[in-house]
């Protein structure tokens, strides 16, 4: 008895177009290489770098650890010491000056007519005493952090040339006083060469997209080789495609050492000079917005400058005395623990402010003239031009 068996006959064309599922296509870049490591961290891990005396907080690649100044760099204030301020005369504004200031103000507003400004009649010019207290504290702050670059045979300023100086003993050039500046200085004798932490000294890292195979499963046919009962046009029936991230090699050049296998590490000191300013103006005129004072200057009739300044005493405006004491204490506590105070300066400005009362066409109104620049603030103006 003969048993009939059924068989499937495939045309030669179909065999050429669709390879069997078991057919193996080798990776474009060759076989998988287990010796090429996976990508390591982009920054050195904790404990990877050596300790340098005076910079212990840097081990592990932290974000710019702060280097507090040593006690010898922290000035100490004298107890019960105050500063006296001379008397000052309140400035006045004439009618001509007030009218000229108003005309300039009207010219800057296209809706306003200059006719009221030229023809108004002043009733009274009231000078208002306005003091602005300002405290400036000029500080120097130092932070340090490890930096690295590919090592290609450059000079290594390491401990063989001496001991690295502490952060506050690294010499730097001082900028002009009260000028903000940031300077980055390499710490002497802190350099050394070490294997790259990302590729472990291989110079290459395994491609994380194809896992070192050089090929990836086709996303159009999901590795089947066919889509809608036809040969996949994207992978040509193979089910896999060359990895575009590594160009089929299965690995990439290390992005940290750029193939040099070694890194040159050193400590970078960042020195920041900053002038911290605090202002205060007592609110004495409810009809005038205090923010307008920020755009004008005053007459600095009192300037006191020293490494540390002391609270003002005996000034006619007691609120200025109280603010002086408060701000000086705040600056001292805020900056002395983290930065070196190089200089302080306290200033009292007399900011001109005149309330001009006038009449125009039988109606009363007013405006303010303020600042040395004679700026004008007018909440209302008699008439305006209309555009037809």
pLDDT in tens, 224-234: 888 778 888 88
Q: Which residues 6+ apart lie within 8 Å of 20 measured at CB?
A: none
Q: Is the pLDDT of residue 2 over 60?
A: no
Question: Which tens digits make up the pLDDT trace of 170-215?
Answer: 999 999 999 999 999 999 999 999 999 989 999 999 898 888 888 8
Task: For residues 343-348, give the mean pLDDT.
Answer: 95
pLDDT for the residue numbered 186: 94
Residues linked to residue 364 through DSSP beta bridges, in sequence order: 359
Flag whether the pTM goes above 0.85: no
Question: Which tens digits make up the pLDDT trace of 75-113?
Answer: 878 766 777 676 666 677 889 999 999 999 988 887 788
pLDDT for the residue numbered 88: 66
Using DSSP bridges, classify how beta strands 312-313 and 83-84 pair: parallel, antiparallel or unpaired.
Answer: parallel
Give 43's pLDDT tier (boundaries 50, 70, 90). confident
Question: Which tens digits make up the pLDDT trace of 107-135?
Answer: 888 778 888 889 999 999 999 888 999 99
């Amino acid at each position: 008895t003969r048993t009939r068996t059924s068989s499937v006959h495939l045309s030669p064309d179909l065999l050429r177009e669709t390879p069997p599922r078991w057919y193996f296509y080798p990776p474009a870049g060759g076989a998988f290489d287990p010796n090429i490591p996976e990508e390591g961290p982009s920054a050195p891990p904790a404990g990877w770098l050596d300790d340098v005396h005076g910079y212990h907080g840097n081990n592990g690649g932290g974000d710019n650890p702060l280097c507090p100044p040593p006690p010898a760099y922290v000035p100490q204030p004298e107890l019960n010491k105050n500063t006296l301020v001379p008397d000052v005369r309140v400035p006045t504004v004439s009618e001509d000056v007030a009218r000229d200031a108003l005309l300039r103000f009207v010219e800057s507003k296209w809706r306003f007519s200059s006719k009221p400004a030229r023809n108004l009649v002043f009733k009274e010019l009231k000078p208002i005493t306005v003091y602005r207290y300002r405290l400036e504290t000029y500080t120097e702050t130092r932070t340090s952090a490890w930096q690295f670059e590919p090592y290609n045979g450059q000079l290594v300023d390491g401990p063989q040339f001496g001991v690295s100086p502490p952060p506050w003993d690294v010499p730097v050039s001082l900028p002009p006083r009260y000028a903000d500046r940031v300077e980055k200085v390499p710490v002497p004798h802190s350099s050394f060469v070490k294997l790259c932490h990302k590729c472990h000294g291989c110079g290459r890292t395994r491609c994380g997209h194809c896992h070192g195979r050089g090929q990836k499963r086709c996303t159009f046919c999901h590795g089947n080789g066919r889509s809608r009962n036809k040969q996949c046009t994207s992978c040509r029936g193979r089910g896999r495609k060359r990895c575009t991230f590594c160009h089929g090699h299965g690995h990439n050049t290390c992005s940290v050492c750029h193939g040099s296998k070694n890194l040159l590490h050193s400590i970078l000191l960042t020195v920041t000079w900053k002038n911290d300013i605090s202002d205060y103006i007592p609110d004495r005129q409810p009809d005038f917005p205090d923010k307008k004072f920020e755009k004008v200057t005053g007459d600095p009739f009192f300037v006191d400058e020293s490494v540390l300044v002391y609270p003002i005493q005996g000034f006619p405006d007691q609120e200025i005395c109280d603010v002086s004491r408060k701000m000086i204490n705040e600056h001292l506590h805020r900056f002395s623990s983290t930065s070196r105070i190089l200089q302080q300066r306290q200033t009292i400005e007399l900011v001109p402010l005149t309330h001009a009362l006038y009449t125009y066409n039988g109606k009363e109104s007013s405006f303010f003239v303020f600042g040395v620049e004679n700026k004008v603030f007018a909440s209302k103006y008699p008439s305006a031009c209309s555009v037809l």
